[in-house]
Structure 1
Amino acid sequence: MISTDLSIILFLQSYEWAVPMMRFASFLGSLEFMLLSMPFLFWCWDAPRGFRVGLILVASHGLNAALKVALHGPRPYWIDPSVQALSTQPSFGMPSGHAQNAVSIWGLTAYLIHKRWAVALAAGVCLFIGISRAYLGAHLLGDVLVGWAAGAVFLGLFIRAMPVLEERIGRMDLKGQIALAFLASLAIILLYLLGRASVAGWQVPPAWEANALRAGGEAIAPFSPVDALLAAGMVLGVSSGYAILKRWGGFRVDGLSRRLVCYLLGMAGVVLIWHALREAQVHAVGWIINYIMITLAGLWVTLGAPLIFIRLGLAEREEPADR
């Protein structure tokens, strides 16, 4: 099966003219693109819907981090030096995070838009993203298929649970909502630790490390918890911030120019928070700093930035939720 996948990847890579197009498709499924688009949806489209899309993104990313460690599958260029490493990552390959997250994010967005064209667009983008990951040598076809399947199952469960959870969480007080967000954050970390424990004693084959270093020029770190911590911190930050914002009153931004200013101002805040905390990072507590950094970034997206928008007159405050 792996040999067949490798043959298909080598065949796809023979079409060198497609590299720019495939890089663009891969970007549409990248965490970087989704972390740029999620704040846009929240600030400039619709806050409740944007929050749901952001929540499924970080939850799917955390699940994917745990699955990668538990399944610990290699990337194509780790096992076959003839595969071009047009996209390199230090994590394991199974399942494809791009494919899983794409189905989750684009699928939920299409569901919330509730139009046939949105469903068709989401399906086409997810297919395009999956093919691009194989073309770029980042994933075997099996990684992509499992990623699509995991994303579809998670999307279905999320859509089914969403109304019930929103109704029950809405009845909780603010302290209870923040405590639940913290428990959800810990659950993501625990899920990663369970995946790590399931492969205790297993070692990455030296050939994988050597091939990856030769092809990509950087050492792999497939057991790094950074993705799990990123997802965990973001769950805590965006959920807590949104809970507080709803208690104080939501916000609404009208007009194209105001939306553009809000997005640029908000993203500038994200960059400043990220840079400031990176500068203050202490190696002895590096993982803790990363967790705090992403939590604060999440709080800025769902609470800090909207309050600044209101203060500057760029947004209007909505009615606060019943206390």
Structure 2
Amino acid sequence: MIYEPVMRAGADFMMAFQGVSPALEWPMRVLTFFGEESFYMIVITLIFWCFDQRFAVRLLGLLVLSSFLTDICKLALHSPRAYWWDASVQALVSESSYGPPSGHSSNGIALWGYAGYYLKRTTGRSWVLPLCIVIGLSIGISRMYLGVHFPHDVILGWLLGGSALLGMIFLGEGFLSWYTHLTGRARVVVAMLVVFFVIGVGVALKLVLADIADDPIWVENALADQPGERIDPRSLKNFANLAGVAFALAMGGSLYQKHARFLSQGSGLQLLGRYLLGIVGVFAIRAGLSYLFGSGDDPVALALRFVRYFLIVFWALYLAPLLFLRLKLARSPTPV
């Protein structure tokens, strides 16, 4: 566990921060939303369908990498969130996973940082990069105000997200070039190995923690602050999600390149039609399969969760573009 005096100092800072003004709550909630799964679904699909497929695919790949590293570290550190550890810290939102590192902070600095880097290179607007970095950092700061992360959680998240960002900038293109030159069969094998690796790491970490008990006061404090919201910090749900997304990114991306490539340009009505049709499909799959499959952490539930996230991304990358072409909402770059 993180050294307790550090947590004490962090909790005191958070309570002072929360005491600055209640008017900060909604701006902080908005900033936190900029690091949520739903926000990334809305924005990355918009970029892919209407603006720049290359950019969107890299953002999605970076999201998988940053989230995977974060989930590994959460289980490895198995440390509490601020409001679990100190009942005096008020949580304005509830979370069920371990605390450090902050996933919002790591994903925020990774994705917003990459967005700034990419847009600066492609548009030449130098102000975009610092703006995006400020937004990425602000997402982490919002998590302290909302009571769910100590300052050290946020700092660790920034460092982890920054590492993922640098990895994408300096190594990402080389990896993508290597992967795209593989045969179709080799791509499937690599994708399956990634799935087994992601799930295997999660299972291995959970087994390592099997004989290590969490402090029962964490559950008591969490329930006292957020009644009805039980914590489940050792769940493998996120690992199943990421495995499904990674497999769909590999398979859907390959099929898109072969059969569903389209030009991002189009009339205003075409762009609107693409986005509305596509995003309705994304959230219909997400909500519909969540209702049908239910929730849980047993092997069957995790397998169904893998299927749900696979289908969300497979729809976005392959099935929706096929539909756009059929409905004349997009044009193929080459005559069909």
Q: TM-score, normalised by structure 1?
A: 0.94
Show the 5 A alignment for 1:102-251.
102-114=108-120, 115-217=125-227, 218-251=229-262
Match of residue 286, structure 1, among 285, 289, 301: 301
Change (3 A) 1:240 1:311: same
Equivalence for 2:325: 310
Change (3 A) 1:249 1:263: closer
Q: Does the aligned pair in 2 maintain the 1:66–1:228 contact within 8 Å?
A: no
Change (3 A) 1:163 1:232: same
Shift, 1:249, TM fit: 5.0
In structure 2, distance between residues paired with 1:100 and 1:256? 35
In structure 2, distance between residues paired with 1:108 and 1:190? 28
| Matched AA of 2:188 | I
In structure 1, distance between residues paired with 2:288 and 2:82? 37
| Matched AA of 2:214 | V
| Residue identity (%) | 30
Tell me, which stretches of 5 or more residues in structure 2 are unaligned?
1-5
| Matched AA of 1:45 | F
Q: What is the aligned-residue RMSD (CA, Å)? A: 1.6
| Matched AA of 1:125 | I
| Matched AA of 2:171 | A
Shift, 1:62, TM fit: 2.1
Equivalence for 2:314: 299
Q: Does the aligned pair in 2 maintain the 1:83–1:137 contact within 8 Å?
A: yes
In structure 2, distance between residues paired with 1:175 and 1:245? 16
Equivalence for 2:3: none
Match of residue 285, structure 2, among 265, 273, 277: 273
Instruction: Check if 1:9 corresponds to 2:14.
Output: yes
In structure 2, distance between residues paired with 1:258 and 1:304? 17
Show the 5 A alignment for 1:67-78.
67-78=73-84
Which stretch has the larger CA shift, 226-235 or 59-68? 59-68
In structure 1, distance between residues paired with 2:327 and 2:313? 21
SS in 2 for 1:138: coil
In structure 2, distance between residues paired with 1:286 and 1:221? 15
The C-alpha deviation readout for 1:26-55, integer Å capped at 9, x for no partner, is 111112211221111111111111111011
In structure 2, distance between residues paired with 1:188 and 1:205? 27
Equivalence for 1:258: 270
Tell me, which stretches of 5 or more residues in structure 1 are unaligned?
none
Change (3 A) 1:120 1:205: same
> Runs of 4+ in structure 1 displaced over 3 angstroms?
none
